[in-house]
Amino acid sequence: MKPFVPPIYKVTTETAFYLSLDVLKLFYDNAQKRLADYQKQANDTTERAYKTLAIYATLLTLLCAYVFTHPDLAWRTVPVWFLLAGTALSTFWMMKVVMPRDYMPLGNTVKDSQPNEYAVSFTTDGESSDDDMQMRLVLRDELNQLEQSIRWQEQVNSRRVRLFGRSLKSILYGICAAMLSYFIFIFL
């Protein structure tokens, strides 16, 4: 199911009449390149997130093993607990990045394309309009659909990048809190 994302820009019928078919195809090709770039960015983010998640899982295992094997040093393990909390929070944010995410398939379904309605609109007085005009109107609708997909993918990517950043900040805050608590315990 495609979530609705209001397009920022919409190609009108008048524009489809004024521009040549080649120019409309050029716009369509450019829009496809933009969407492909956003999809590549999403795939790259996912790949990096899996690698980072593996590192976080290793750190969590290591920190938990240290805490469980040193129960007698309760006050000395406070910095480790801060590291553990920061890593756990980072792992949570990274899991939200890699969790199954929404997917917006390209193009329209036959139901969305409504070929029967198109056929009626392409005929005047029982005669079909020329192929060039039909292609212009179909390209207009496909451009609008592509614009919606581009905006949707852009929103999804920016959300995932924010989550990735939160994850990195969380582990950094955990390290800083661990260092601070360690220095406090040294000087007390």
Dihedral over alpha carbons 129, 116, 8, 100 (to 10 degrees): -140
Amino acid at 17: F
pTM above 0.85, yes or no: no
User: Is residue 5 a part of any domain in this protein?
Assistant: no
Mean pLDDT across 125-129: 61
C-alpha pair distances (Å), 49 with each of 32, 43, 54, 157: 25, 10, 9, 13
Q: Give residue 88's domain range.
A: 13-187
Answer whether residue 1 is part of any domain. no
Look at the chain and report how many structural domains it folds into: 1
- pLDDT tens per residue, range 48-105: 999 999 999 999 999 888 888 887 766 777 888 899 999 999 999 999 998 877 666 6
Residue 47 lies in a domain: yes
CA-wise closest residue to 167 among 72, 73, 45:
45
Task: State residue 1's pLDDT score.
Answer: 42
Q: Which residue has the higher pLDDT, 80 or 8?
A: 80
| Per-residue pLDDT tens digits for 15-44 | 887 888 888 889 889 999 999 999 999 999
Structural domain contains residue 19: yes
